[in-house]
Structure 1
């Protein structure tokens, strides 16, 4: 059985800013340190959105720099605060399903994780799965 660590809603912001009074970078740094020292045997860390509080490139850049210290493989998922274009400019290697969505299937031994992109940038408070992301989509 695989060991998977799941983090959610980190709401990264640009350096010098805070989100509801907290510095998400400081919190993520402490989580990364704990994961590296206490869970180095994990197979994967999944961080689902909201990755950035405002979906801006500065926040994604800060997130990328922080994740460089993580010794465990990581997969990122988008949330309703995220922005696909800004995310892709900072994380161009992120999986694209061929329809522009950041989604993938990840095989870990006998387990298969399906990471879905439900971001609706036209209606950021709602998520959805559309037909272009389902019938024609094939996991990698």
Structure 2
């Protein structure tokens, strides 16, 4: 069995600052890490941590250093993806041991029985994402090398519409091209993303795509065109992805409830 822990959209900022002047993202991530650590004996072995973008809110070296210190208690091999709030070169420097030395931050790694593929969707200075010709070519090659093996494909921007209009306006620009490539892969494949700060499950080219919650905040699922633009003070948790004879995804809530009580 192979188990991957997914975090997303942690939006860490430099010390003594609040994200968007409202959110103490350091405290929310600290609580989630403590929660995961406290139940490690219950959930079993975890093989790696995948972070699907927006590790930081400002893309600064100080914020990346702070993020690394906050997740260090998990003691897991860590693989990261760019989000629209990240900065490519600062991220490259912070995670030099796992990221390409030049170019886009696309990568692939074998973790246990799963091929992990990470795609860089960052357009610096913009909210929307794009894979571009280089990213699409990288994916096509990585899937060819996977040769039907189980794949977890990570990217920040979801390759599906969420129904949250102000987020869909800054979604993945070349999602159609991505779907064309994914349709040709006939092995087990699950798509993992972030960006929309809530868990949504969708079908993409015959594969399951899942967006992760954010420990920092939530966007309301409000399909009205006049829906207010902004975040909610509601902390999400993390996702746990297991591969055995198939994929299984489990939510880890941000806070433990009371109990268990007999029934």
Q: How does 1:123-134 map to 2 (within 5 A)?
A: 123-134=125-136
Instruction: Give me the CA root mean square deviation.
Output: 2.2
1:71-124 deviations in Å (ceiling 9; x for gaps):
22221111001101122232222321x651222222233322211111111x52
Gaps of 5+ in 2: 146-263
Does residue 29 (structure 1) correspond to residue 33 (structure 2)? The answer is no
Q: How does 1:33-72 map to 2 (within 5 A)?
A: 33-39=34-40, 41-72=45-76
Inter-partner Cα distance in structure 2 for 1:11 and 1:55: 9
**Higher gyration radius (CA):** 2
Q: How does 1:1-140 map to 2 (within 5 A)?
A: 1-20=1-20, 21-39=22-40, 41-96=45-100, 100-121=103-124, 123-135=125-137, 139=142
Gaps of 5+ in 1: none
1 or 2, which has the higher strand percentage? Answer: 2
- The count of corresponding residues between Structure 1 and Structure 2 is 138
Inter-partner Cα distance in structure 1 for 2:88 and 2:77: 21
The alignment's TM-score, normalised by the length of structure 2, stands at 0.47
The alignment's TM-score, normalised by the length of structure 1, stands at 0.84
Structure 1 segments of 4 or more deviating over 6 A? none
